[in-house]
Amino acid sequence: MAAKSLYSCMRSAQTTLFVSGSCTLRSLLPSSVTCVQQVRHRRYPAFIVRPSIRKPWHVRKWTTKSDGDLIASNEAFVKDVLIDKYTGVGKVESPLKDGPWERNPFVHGTRRTGVLALKLGTTEQYTKEGNVFTVTLLQVLDNHVINYVPPEVYATYPSHRPHQGEKFGLQIVGALSCDPRMFSKAYNNLFMKAGVPPKRWLTRFLITPNAAVQPGTPLCVNHFRVGDHVDVQSRTRDWGFQGVIKRWGMKGMPASHGVTKSHRKMGSTGGGGDKGGIWRGKHMPGIMGNRLSVQHNLKIWRINTKYNILYVTGPAIAGLPHTFVRVSDTLIPTRRIKEEDAGNLPMPTWYPEDETEPIPEELFDEQLFRFTDPSVEITS
Amino acid sequence: MSLRLLVCIPSRFGCLSCQHDSTCSCDAAKKTHHVINYQRTQTEILQALRPKSNFLLSNVVDKHRLSPLQQGTEAVAVETETTAPRDYRFVMPEFLPNADYRYRDRVLEKLERQDMLRRRAVIDIPEFYVGSIMAVCVSDPHAPGKRNRFVGICIDRSGQGLRAHFVLRNVVDGLGVEVMYKMYNPTVLSVEVLKLEKRLDDQLYYLRNCPLEYSTFDFNMDPVILPRGSQVPVNPIKVKLNPKPWEYRWERFNLKGIEPISLTPKMIKGIEKSAEPWRQNDLMMMYRSQVHEEEETEIMAEVYKEKHRIDSQKKTSRAAQRKNK
């Protein structure tokens, strides 16, 4: 709790800074946080560049250190050692050796972990009636569970939100194994317990404790069923600093008729009188994109188990191809997985030992047209 | 000493431990992490505002797919045994992917090709070009007999992968009609080529501004059969454009299939203004606007092999049917 209280007092100190402007140091301390004078307009800094605001508990990821100029044979030897370390005989200690964790049935209110996928692009599919629609392909590539944090531990974390209570734990999932030499020591240490190579991307899912997955477990596309609905979260394309026409779709001003130097400007910023001044939230130029966007309630139409592909409805998943997306069971109440439908749901995730028969390469939704079928004949 | 842990307070507010002002030079004042620096230099600001790529390039993703550390996902197999004929990409251009490298993905293209070839095994989509006269039969809930057959000249063919389509044009009751058909739509029941030929241009949208006789074709036309092994004939017909107004400024497109237009000074000025002669010399633009030759041969070899297999399968099944009769 110590870390949390310290963080909260830091935050309050910072907010005071903006309120009281140039103040003495004494007033920053938690003992004298009371702000006496009311301030009309909150002062904002000239620049807030979002990506520079790092969470204090994040460790540095990349490293600039390198082995120098290794000759080709030495480089190959180091690579062989690394591969052997994670896949071969001298494998690192994996927590899976201790035997699997207890598996619980799916009950009402259970939240399972999600997966990290790569957006590949969009294509078209047809329904059995011959109607065309767009699908996005998501590849679940090289996913592993890195850690599980139980709810009582998560409640002491600075990132914990009080309204969540002690209901949810954290499941940390990583994707795309990399050469550990790319990363800093602190980042590599995060993967020691799980016994997997360091991952290019890490994320966390809020889960209920009955759906916890053991660290070191690989996740694959069979975690989901065809016909279920998922929520997909990804970052939008980064456009950098953009003007109002591109960022907010404003009209600008005419190209001629006496207009000079303001063809792409925004015009008026507000009215006068009692409610005068620039209102908060006024659409202005600034950094556009690179923010999280969620698409709720997307149906899984088709699954390819060979290449680990999900065919998800719609073209609306944000980002260019090869963006990382977080895919998890939908939270929309009407589409959420119900206890009575959860008979063949992999819980907490899919294990290859569960399958008695080899799983088919492709799984289709009932309403989806398969290209091996004959043409659609309309009779009625 | 616990005050030293207040890491979020910017250094410009001074040192915490010694109660000095911001000019203090003791160690505690320098130990400030995670500070939002509002007083950046111009280069730092520009660096921070620059668009950052929050996606991976396709070559990095391919490296991950082939990495020995990766398990559970198969890599895409590359066809090396067979080689397709050299001009095969003109026969089936829709199998070539989008040339923009940001939208390329090996797995997506492979899966799309798989679906396309599956559909081609069910219905016969013959070789055709812009300028060929075709007949397409689709199932249509609003047509009598729930089927609709349309005959026309192919005026455009484009789209990649499962999005491939072509446009047919004909005259029905004195009115020009154009219909766009998706090639892999399951409601398409049959595609026939009545007369296989090419025209001088890649798109024939200028037929909209020509007399209707150039785009009138008989719905009960008999198919013209070419002798076996002959090349696809090119129709050198030059159509006559109607007087203005036109759909587009056709004089600017350097069209070969229309009769010479009498140019006005204004038209000549427009042609000069819209001309982009540097495109011929921009090697980088040309390189980026098309799929590389090695990749093209890989893709076309796979398509050729699969097409060959489908054709031979159909032949044997037809022979078996004849025997049973």
End-to-end CA distance of chain B: 99
Q: How close, in Å, is residue A120 to chain B by CA atoms?
A: 6
Give the domain ranges of chain B. Answer: 2-49, 127-290
Task: Give the β-pairing of A115-126 and A132-139.
Answer: antiparallel
For B215, the token pair is 């785009």
State the pLDDT at residue A27: 43
Phi then psi for A66, rounded to 5 degrees? -140, 165
- CB within 8 Å: B48 and A380: no
Q: How close, in Å, is residue A179 to chain B by CA atoms?
A: 9
State the pLDDT at residue B52: 72
State the pLDDT at residue A91: 76
A187 within 8 A of A65, measured Cβ to Cβ: no
State the pLDDT at residue B245: 94
**3-class secondary-structure state, position A182:** helix
Provide, as residue numbers in chain A, all residues whose Cβ is less than 8 Å from the Cβ of B16: 25
**3-class secondary-structure state, position B87:** coil
Phi then psi for A231, rounded to 5 degrees? -105, 135
Neighbouring residues of A266: CB distance < 8 A, sequence distance ≥ 6? A244, A248, A250, A283, A284, A285
Q: Is the pLDDT of residue B100 over 70?
A: yes
State the pLDDT at residue B200: 96
- CB within 8 Å: A14 and B16: no
Q: Does B277 or B86 have the greater pLDDT score? A: B277
Q: Determine whether A29 is exposed, middle or buried from the number of CB atoms within 10 Å of its CB (0-12, 13-18, 19+).
A: middle
Average pLDDT over residues B79-95: 89
Q: Is the pLDDT of residue B242 over 70?
A: yes
DSSP string computed for A299-321 = EEEEEETTTTEEEEE-S---SST
Q: Cα–Cα distance between B86 and B81 in angstroms, integer?
A: 15
Nearest beta carbon to residue A375 from set B56, B140, B188: B188
Average pLDDT over residues B148-167: 96
Chain B interface, mutation test: which of A81, A307, A373, most B Cβ atoms within 10 Å? A307
- CB within 8 Å: A373 and B186: yes
Q: Cα–Cα distance between A26 and A13 in angstroms, integer?
A: 11
State the ipTM, two decimals.
0.84
Q: Cα–Cα distance between A142 and B68 in angstroms, integer?
A: 11
- CA distances in angstroms from A171 to A90, A151, A177, B131, B262, listed in the order given: 28, 11, 18, 59, 73
- CB within 8 Å: A10 and B8: yes
State the pLDDT at residue A271: 85
A219 within 8 A of A349, measured Cβ to Cβ: yes
Q: Cα–Cα distance between A244 and A263 in angstroms, integer?
A: 11
C-alpha of B109 from chain center: 12
Q: How close, in Å, is residue B325 to chain A by CA atoms?
A: 24
C-alpha of B5 from chain center: 57
- CA distances in angstroms from A17 to A36, A38, A41, A194, B12, listed in the order given: 13, 14, 14, 42, 12
Q: Cα–Cα distance between A111 and A151 in angstroms, integer?
A: 13
Q: Is the pLDDT of residue B132 over 60?
A: yes
* Look-up of token digits 């790319």: A182
For B275, the token pair is 């001309």
Q: Cα–Cα distance between B262 and B268 in angstroms, integer?
A: 10
Q: Where does A103-213 have alpha helices with state H?
A: 151-154, 185-189
State the pLDDT at residue B82: 86
State the pLDDT at residue B184: 97
Q: Cα–Cα distance between A26 and A24 in angstroms, integer?
A: 5
- CB within 8 Å: A238 and B38: no
Lowest mean pLDDT among A22-36, A109-123, B46-60, B204-218: A22-36
What CATH number should be reported for the domain whose range is A72-238+289-364? Answer: 2.40.30.10
B138 within 8 A of B128, measured Cβ to Cβ: no
Q: Cα–Cα distance between B201 and B253 in angstroms, integer?
A: 10
* Look-up of token digits 């349309």: B150
Nearest beta carbon to residue A141 from set B48, B65, B187: B65
Taking the CA atoms of B260, B261, B262 and B266 in sequence, report the sign of the dihedral they define. negative
State the pLDDT at residue A54: 65
Average pLDDT over residues B37-59: 75
For B227, the token pair is 């002798």
State the pLDDT at residue A35: 53
The model carries a pTM of: 0.84
State the pLDDT at residue B86: 83
**3-class secondary-structure state, position A69:** coil
State the pLDDT at residue B65: 95
Q: Cα–Cα distance between B40 and B63 in angstroms, integer?
A: 37
Q: Cα–Cα distance between A370 and B184 in angstroms, integer?
A: 11
Provide, as residue numbers in chain A, all residues whose Cβ is less than 8 Å from the Cβ of B54: 235, 237-238, 290, 319, 323
Query: What's the one-letter identity of residue A42?
Result: R
Neighbouring residues of B15: CB distance < 8 A, sequence distance ≥ 6? B21, B22, B24, B26, B28, B29
Lowest mean pLDDT among A188-197, B42-51, B101-110: B42-51
Question: Measured over all CA atoms, what is the biggest interatomic distance in chain A, rounded to whole angstroms?
Answer: 83
Q: How close, in Å, is residue A360 to chain B by CA atoms?
A: 14
Mean pLDDT for chain B overall? 87
Lowest mean pLDDT among A272-286, B53-67, B218-232: A272-286
Q: How close, in Å, is residue B230 to chain A by CA atoms?
A: 32
* CATH architecture observed for domain B127-290: Roll (2.30)
A265 within 8 A of A182, measured Cβ to Cβ: no
Q: Which of A302, A324, A320 is nearest to A311 (CA)?
A: A302
Q: Which of A179, A201, A193, A190 is nearest to A115 (CA)?
A: A201
- CA distances in angstroms from A243 to A173, A264, A293, B52, listed in the order given: 37, 8, 21, 17
Q: Determine whether A334 is exposed, middle or buried from the number of CB atoms within 10 Å of its CB (0-12, 13-18, 19+).
A: exposed
Nearest CA in chain B to A304: B111
Residue % of chain B over a pLDDT of 70 = 86
Give the domain ranges of chain A. Answer: 2-46, 72-238+289-364
Q: Determine whether B174 is exposed, middle or buried from the number of CB atoms within 10 Å of its CB (0-12, 13-18, 19+).
A: exposed
- CA distances in angstroms from B315 to A53, B48, B121, listed in the order given: 66, 63, 12
Average pLDDT over residues B180-195: 97
Mean pLDDT by 10 residues, chain A (380 residues): 40 39 44 53 46 70 85 93 84 84 94 96 96 97 96 91 90 95 94 93 95 95 96 91 91 94 91 82 85 93 96 95 96 94 92 92 96 91
